[in-house]
């Protein structure tokens, strides 16, 4: 099978060997490339010094093992059920304590200068992956709406459309899914709005068409399929914190010293590896982000 590839494809877009060797996945991946070549242009993105040098997980792992309760609570549910979600037209309303509240169409968001950011992702359940996202800093978007002096927090909301998101037909969580960051966390250069993955637009099960990626926090903070971003002066309510406040804090920074009440957070299984590895404070991003929490008791503000 001959697939014409533009010369400026980043190395990570080339199908990893593990997937290549798995014929079925390779065929799926090839079908995906063809499809996206026809319908959506591959995303041009420049490399970022903020990327990790660790080898990324395969496209199959990243797109087949997801926590996205809007499409079901099993890890395989999102890949099976997310196909119905319509991601066009798509608008993201940005309002609240800002000088210029407005709505951004997805086409406009795709025109922001895109970067490839290869980040570690640590799930609160104790597994992790390395994912080559394509996206742009959240800060670039927030700059356009000009937060006022009142703004201290940023609240995010996922689409609520039960007809296309079958998981929302049951109240597993209080829909729509909500997340939040402190403004300084939101403006941090690592905080990304991702629109793509492995050089292509985000698959639906990974949070298409636009999602947050906060690599030093547990994965559930990185809210998917965002339709609203609101700047506020008060700490916004967040879905998992509402569901189980003693288990999921507002901050939810990756912290091997603070266990989940029901399981240890000291180590993690990197998908694809046999031995567990030690979990690093702030998921290995302590040098960049520990300063945000100076003077805070992270056992209390977990």
**Residue 60 in the binding site for another protein (CB under 8 A):** yes
Shortest separation between residue 184's beta carbon and another protein, angstroms = 29
Long-range CB pairs of 148-151 (<8 Å, 24+ gap) are 148/97, 148/98, 148/99, 148/231, 150/97, 150/231, 150/233, 151/96, 151/97, 151/98, 151/183, 151/231, 151/232, 151/233
**Cβ distance to another protein smaller for residue 125 or 184:** 125
Q: Which residues pair with 120 in a beta bridge?
A: 130
Contacting residue, 1, 53, 262, 295, with another protein by CB under 8 A: 262
**Residue 20 in the binding site for another protein (CB under 8 A):** no
**Cβ distance to another protein smaller for residue 41 or 244:** 244
47: left (phi > 0), else alpha (psi -120 to 50), else beta? Answer: beta
Shortest separation between residue 246's beta carbon and another protein, angstroms = 13
**Residue 127 in the binding site for another protein (CB under 8 A):** yes
**Residue 242 in the binding site for another protein (CB under 8 A):** no
**Residue 266 in the binding site for another protein (CB under 8 A):** yes
Total residues binding another protein (CB under 8 A): 24
Instruction: Name residues whose C-beta falls within 8 Å of residue 283's C-beta, 6 or more positions apart in sequence.
Output: 120, 122, 128, 215, 216, 217, 254
Contacting residue, 9, 30, 31, 172, with another protein by CB under 8 A: 172
Instruction: Name residues whose C-beta falls within 8 Å of residue 118's C-beta, 6 or more positions apart in sequence.
Output: 12, 51, 52, 53, 54, 56, 130, 131, 132, 133
Q: Binding site residues for Mo-molybdopterin, as ranges?
A: 66, 69-70, 123, 158, 206, 211, 222-224
**Footprint of another protein (CB under 8 A):** 22, 60-61, 64-65, 69, 73, 75, 125, 127, 172-173, 243-244, 262-264, 266-267, 269, 271, 274-276
């Amino acid at each position: 099978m001959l697939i014409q590839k533009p010369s400026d494809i980043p190395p990570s877009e080339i199908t990893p060997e593990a997937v290549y060797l798995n014929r079925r996945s390779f065929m799926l991946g090839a079908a995906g490339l063809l499809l996206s070549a026809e319908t959506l242009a591959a995303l041009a993105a420049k490399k970022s010094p903020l990327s990790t040098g660790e080898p990324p997980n395969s496209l199959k792992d990243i797109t087949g093992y997801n926590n996205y309760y809007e499409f079901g609570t099993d890890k395989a549910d999102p890949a099976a059920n997310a196909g119905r979600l319509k991601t066009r037209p798509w608008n993201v309303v940005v309002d609240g304590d800002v000088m210029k509240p407005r709505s951004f169409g997805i086409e406009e968001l795709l025109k922001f200068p895109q970067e490839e950011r290869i980040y570690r992702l640590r799930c609160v359940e104790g597994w992790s992956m390395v994912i080559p996202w394509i996206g742009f800093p959240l800060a670039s978007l927030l700059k356009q709406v000009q937060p006022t002096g009142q703004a201290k927090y940023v609240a995010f909301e996922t689409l609520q459309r039960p007809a296309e998101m079958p998981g929302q037909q049951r109240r597993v969580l209080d829909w729509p899914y909500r997340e939040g960051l402190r403004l300084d966390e939101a403006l941090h250069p690592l905080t990304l709005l991702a629109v793509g993955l492995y050089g292509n637009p985000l698959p639906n099960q990974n949070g298409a068409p636009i999602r947050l990626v906060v690599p030093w926090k547990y994965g559930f903070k990185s809210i998917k399929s965002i339709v609203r971003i609101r700047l506020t002066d008060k700490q916004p309510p967040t879905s998992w914190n509402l569901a189980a406040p003693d288990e999921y804090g507002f901050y939810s920074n990756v912290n091997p010293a603070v266990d989940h009440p029901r399981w240890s957070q000291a180590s993690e299984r990197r998908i694809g590896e046999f031995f567990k590895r030690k979990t690093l404070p702030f998921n290995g991003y302590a040098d960049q982000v520990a300063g945000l929490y100076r003077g805070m008791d992270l056992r209390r503000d977990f």
